[in-house]
């Protein structure tokens, strides 16, 4: 595996985890949003990852001859959580239904914070791979001098 392929795999992880962090931050920001443009409360979103070939065209050709592919990760889709909204009895709230219940988003802020920590750790791990690869490449250049 070349240095560039390692960097491509690491950068695919960075990109995917950045998108995941954006979705998580949106969930946290809208944890109390009872009214959206689509109507009803905000609906929690989640990211689905899938493996992805990250090689260049030349790299694909070389990998097929060597029997190796460089597999990274990418965001396959962003899905909406199917859990029902939380109902709270607040008859004076402007978004209360006829029975006095307000539908709140199905977002658990503590769970989202745990997901954010996990995404941050994954991001840092991918960043560490990239930094280690850069150090190895610089070391190889120094050996060549």
Alpha-carbon gap, residue 129 to 139, rounded angstroms:
15
**Is the model's pLDDT at 131 over the cut of 80?**
yes
Give me the mean pLDDT over the 40-62 stretch.
80
Q: Which residues neighbour 83 within 8 Å (Cβ) at sequence distance 6 or greater?
A: 44, 106
Confidence category of residue 54, pLDDT binned at 50, 70, 90? confident
Q: For 22-34, how does the pLDDT look when each residue is reduced to its tens digit (9 = 90+)?
A: 999 999 999 999 9
Q: For 72-127, how does the pLDDT look when each residue is reduced to its tens digit (9 = 90+)?
A: 889 999 999 999 999 999 999 999 999 999 999 999 999 999 999 999 999 999 99
User: What token pair was written down for 101?
Assistant: 């219940």
Write out the chain in H/E/C secondary structure. CCHHHHHHHHHHHHHHHHHHHHHHHHHHHCCCCCCCCCCCCCCCEEEEEEEEECCCHHHHHHHHHHCCCCEEEEEEEEEECCCCCEEEECCCCCCCCCCCEEEECCCCHHHHHHHHHHHHHHHHHHHHHHHHHHHHHHHHHHHCC
Q: Which of 9-13, 23-27, 34-38, 60-64 has the lowest mean pLDDT?
A: 60-64
Closest CA to 75 of 11, 19, 6, 7: 19
Give me the mean pLDDT over the 57-81 stretch.
75
Specify the pLDDT at position 45: 97
Confidence category of residue 141, pLDDT binned at 50, 70, 90? confident
């Amino acid at each position: 595996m070349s240095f560039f392929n390692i960097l491509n795999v690491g950068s695919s992880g960075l990109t995917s985890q950045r998108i995941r962090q954006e979705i998580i931050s949106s969930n946290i920001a809208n944890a109390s949003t009872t009214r959206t443009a689509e109507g009803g409360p905000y609906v929690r979103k989640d990211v689905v990852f899938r493996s992805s070939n990250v090689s260049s065209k030349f790299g694909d050709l070389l990998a097929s001859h060597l029997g190796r592919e460089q597999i990274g990760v990418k965001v396959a889709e962003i899905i909406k959580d199917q859990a029902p909204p939380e109902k709270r009895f607040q008859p004076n709230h402007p978004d209360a239904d006829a029975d006095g219940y307000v539908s709140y988003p199905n977002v658990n802020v503590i769970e989202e914070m745990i997901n954010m920590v996990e995404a941050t750790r994954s991001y840092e791990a991918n960043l560490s791979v990239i930094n280690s690869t850069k150090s190895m490449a610089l070391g190889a250049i120094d050996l060549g001098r």
